[in-house]
Structure 1
Amino acid sequence: MSSPSSVPARPGPGRHARFLCSRFGKRLTQEQNPGRMARMHMSALLMVALLAAPAQPLTWKVTGADVTFEMSAKDLRALRDGKEVFGLQSRQADFLSNFKAEEGTNTFGWEGSQSLKVLSVVGPWVSYENSDSGFTGGAHPYASTSYVTEDVTKPKGAFSLLSVFPEKDVVAALKADRFIRKHIHDEAAFKDARTVDALMQSLEPGEDCVGFDSGGLESVKRSVAFHHIEGNKVAVRISFGYAAEACRGRSFVVGVLLTISAELRPALKRAARREEGFLMKDAKAVKAPSVHFTWESPEPKQE
């Protein structure tokens, strides 16, 4: 019985042949699906355009006020009837005006910087941290850091925490703070204080060099930011400055809880939900803007 004859297997395509088949197959696919390739090309171009396009500012209108905010990574602007009433970038001109000296003044060695960082926005109230430092002659350089709250619907300096919350509530909250109690100078005056001014006068700078009796009342009124909500209360941060020139640049932040009135609650709730503004605890999450300006005196001309 004869054994079946074996037929040798036909050799497959070599590496070069497989490569050509692969290239040829892709070419056929491309030729057979020109629409698909065009769509892929357009999608790629669209993605590049989106990545290259600048991000549009976040915009919101304040309920019950003729104010519109525009917030981007580099600016926060408040507009009324299309006119800017608050801005960060627009403050550079004012910053530079501080270094205009009379003709003939030797400004060699002068320098300055200013940083503005938005902390919270509640209704028409913008709270930000302002830091200044530099040297413009005299015996010493200057440096300060403080919080500032502005009501963009009113003249600068018109906002007051004591117009938002009863003064007795603010006094009670400050009296309960551990940092405040650490600086009691006159126990009897501290206990009897019924106003913020009287309370500040009962305190001493201490080793920290806190400026309670020099600008403390103004700090409580305007150097504030709204941090978060706890039940029916809002956490407010109050920034105090330094008491003596030897302590320049220092700042101290005290936190108090104040009961939210029915009138204030809607604006705070909208800020907490980031519908209109935001609270201080969310400033990083919303990428709250900040700016930094610097100036240095020009080099003296060579004769």
Structure 2
Amino acid sequence: MSDETPERSEGLDELAGLDELATEAVDDRGLMLDELTVADLVELMNDRDATIAGAVRTALPTITAAIAATVERMREGGRLIYAGAGTSGRLGVLDASEVPPTFGTAGDVVVGLIAGGPRAIVSSVESAEDSAQTGAADVDGLGVGPLDTVVGIASSGRTPYVLGAVARAAEAGALTVGLSCNLDTPLSAATDHGIEIPVGPEIVAGSTRLGAGTATKMVLNMFSTVSMVQLGKTYQTLMVDVRATNAKLVRRAVRIVTLATGVDDDTARQTLDAADWHAKLAIAMISTGLDADEARRALDAAGGRLRAVIEERG
């Protein structure tokens, strides 16, 4: 019998399989990074990054299906939850944290879980990724249910913390998505939608904060942004649910209202004052002639979709 704890054994199993992973491979054994000039290194990295969008494109059908299924649940009140470790976890937390200020949502609509907890966002807690039980416990802590979507993020596609999180989410009836940068991964096999982005070897061998990190951020941008657009958080190309909570956002709200309606700055400001500085509500008021309470009720009845209100009453 092994003397290793279950958590440690899981981590060693992953370590033993690193040689099989494209993201851990050495791209060019003859390439001497430490002998290159700054200009050469910058060009090399830029050339490498130029291939990432193509790798993401290969997975667009799977990405599309996963986001569509997520939106169906979010329309019924479900949440989008990211779970990852290390760089993958930090990227999930970053994407989740940008949704409230951009789209005016509550802080619990898109949530980021990271192995090791909040401390791991700024400090390395590498051993935390070795425990599937901790991933399951973190999902339990959020009370995940059938309307929720849990996106497990792991460049390797085999991180125990992430596998534990998606397994527990599946038991709770949630939609599960796996996002990895290797092919035929355990994470894909364990989830409803397995998104695999074959980015290949990193310039610095095994440093998946590079190409894999870029690919991951691109996909997470799609998840959060497309979901919010589908939920009515934008109008045209404008983030109309933004809340003007500082000077920059006040200027942005005025610009959004003027662009959407064609009114001048003074009219936009006056209407925003009446709308408690909610750009969507101000646009609805100007476009329909309704007062703030009437426009608010119309938006509520339309599920927050500004276009529907304007087309019906404008």
TM range (shorter): under 0.3
Larger Rg: 1
Higher helix share: 2
Higher strand share: 1
TM-score for both structures, normalised by structure 2 = 0.22
TM-score for both structures, normalised by structure 1 = 0.23
